[in-house]
Every structure is written in structure tokens, then in C-alpha cells.
Amino acid sequence: MRVLLLLLIGLICFGPFSSAAVPQSNEPIILNLTVSTKKGTIIRGLTPEDLSITVDKQPLKILSLDEREVPASIGILIDTSGSQDVRGTVEITRQFKQGLTRFFELNNPANEYFALAFNTKPELVQDWTSDYQSILAKFDSLKFGKPTSLYDALRVSLEKMKTSRNSKRVLVLISDGADNQSKASFKEVRDLLKASDVVLYSVGLLNVVGIGDVATIPVTEGDGVLKELTGLSGGRVLFMNTSQGAEAFNEVFELIALELRSQYQVAIVLEPSSGAAKWRKLKVVANRTSSTGQKEELLARTRQGYYR
């Protein structure tokens, strides 16, 4: 009798017990799309006819293609762990702050930002603001050292993004990709990123090692972490040698700012399906016709899929 009563309560409160979930929404999905030549030149002025989009290898109709710039909500994540203490010197810190200043100056004035630093645990340095000077002012007080909680910082930041006022959401991570402290796992963060619409950019900081005039940049596990997460979201990782000086910092941050202001917004609709949401693989191919009538294949970068 007790079992029947519990089943009745369940039916009333939650509906019939079934493995089939409620059909998924067919609301449009907006993709942030970056298109460039193979040499990295950003391409503008494309039309829907220049793009081909497939979901699970099936052709998909493009509802609209808009190249107007929209304001973004951007989180700045700064690795202040011991592995990054190369930036602890006055000169490197100055150069990094200069590059970040350049990034803010080149971005849309209507953007909003938050800043989060992390070593042993994530710490919100600055809540949402359009006054980026408040972030720069607090940068000088950052202390470097201790273990790295990269995955925890990403998890907290993805949750923070849910409070943003703009539909275009971006995280800019400055780190070497190493983690030795987080409670969250790489898989957990990867799954959270897949379920979000946040685009992740990473500035991968590398140290030169070697003897005399022979210097190499080591490949680490952190490099792979940054590449996988950024690629999944439609962003990119830009590795830089911290010994290259202010010009290297400026170049990297200028490139990210340029991309953010030059992206297309592409609206697509996935057919609703019954059952639980599943990962749908997304692929975009872009071409343009040259003045000689030849087709030129371009590089199109957006998120790798959606749950729907």
C-alpha cells in the first residue's frame, strides 16, 4: 500500500515515469563564428551562401547571418599560482598589464567584465563592471604562488556567466594549463563547457628552457588541456613565450580583441527530438569566390556541438 501511495504521489508531482524526456526546444541557436584565411586574416562580408553547416553530418538551414558587432560579457581568469611566478617580477607584471590594457582599449565600450584570480582557490577580484580600469587597478595587488586550481576556476566562472547581461559570453584564460589542486575534474569542466554557450580563449604562457643559444619550449599536459577546451568552445589558444617582452603580450591580446569584434552571429534551428538531450556534432565550412572566379576554402571556427 505504501509503495502504491508513493507511486501516486510521483505521478501527480512529476508526471508519468518514462525513459522518454520532454521534446527539446526548437528555438534558434546563435553561433559565434570566426572566419579567416589560412594565413589568419579575418574575413568579413560573407553571405549565407558562402557557408555550409551540418549537424551530425546532416545539412542544416541557416536562418540568418549577421556581422554586426554585439556587446559581450567577458570574464578574465588570471593564474596566480606558483607555476606562473615568472610573472611575479616587476617587468613581466608590467608587460602583462600593458597587454591587458590594450585588450580592453580595443574592445567594444559596451562590454562588461569580471576578473577572477586563482591559485589554491578561485577568488573574484572584480565583479561585473564596464569600467575596466577598476580591474587594472587591482592587478598590481595580485600575489603569485601556491598550487593551481584551474578547473575550479573554470567551473566558478562558467557559473558566473549565467548572471551576465549580454548573450555573447566569453572567457579569457591566462595560464599554462596545469592543475594540481582542484576539486573539479577536467571531464566535469569539459562537460560544463559543452553544455554552455561560452567561448573560451586562452593565453598559454610558456617558459623558454635550454642552454646558451639553444632554447626550446617544452610541450606539457597543460598545453593539451588548453587546446581541447578552447577548440571545443569555438575559441582558440594562443601560446606566447614570456621572454619575448611587451610586444608579444600586446600582439596576443590585440588578436583576441580583433576576433571578438569581427565575429558573425549565425542563427540555426535544430529539429526538436524526443528523448533526452544528446550531443549534436556541429561543423561549419566556409568558402568565398575570388575575383578570378576560383573557390577559396576558408577557416571557420565555432563551437563543436550542442546538446539538443
Say if CB 120 and CB 146 are below 8 A apart: yes
Tell me, yes or no, whether 255 and 276 share the same domain: no
Please state, in angstroms and rounded to a whole number, the distance separating the CA atoms of residues 108 and 91. 28
In this structure, what C-alpha cell is assigned to residue 125? 577580484
pLDDT tens digits, 203-238: 987 754 433 333 344 456 788 999 999 999 999 999
Q: Is the pLDDT of residue 155 over 80?
A: yes
Q: How far is CA 134 from CA 12, 87, 142, 216, 300, in A?
A: 52, 20, 13, 37, 35
* Domain enclosing residue 28, as ranges: 24-68+265-307
> What pLDDT does residue 91 have?
64
Per the structure, the count of domains in the chain is 2
On whether residue 9 sits in a domain, the answer given is: no
Tell me, yes or no, whether 110 and 175 share the same domain: yes
Please state, in angstroms and rounded to a whole number, the distance separating the CA atoms of residues 106 and 139. 19
Q: Give the CATH number, domain containing residue 97.
A: 3.40.50.410
On whether residue 7 sits in a domain, the answer given is: no
Going by C-alpha positions, the residue among 281, 268, 277, 265 that lies closest to residue 232 is 281
pLDDT tens digits, 103-125: 999 999 999 999 999 999 999 99
Q: Terminal CA-to-CA distance of the chain, rounded, Å?
A: 39
Tell me, yes or no, whether 30 and 98 share the same domain: no
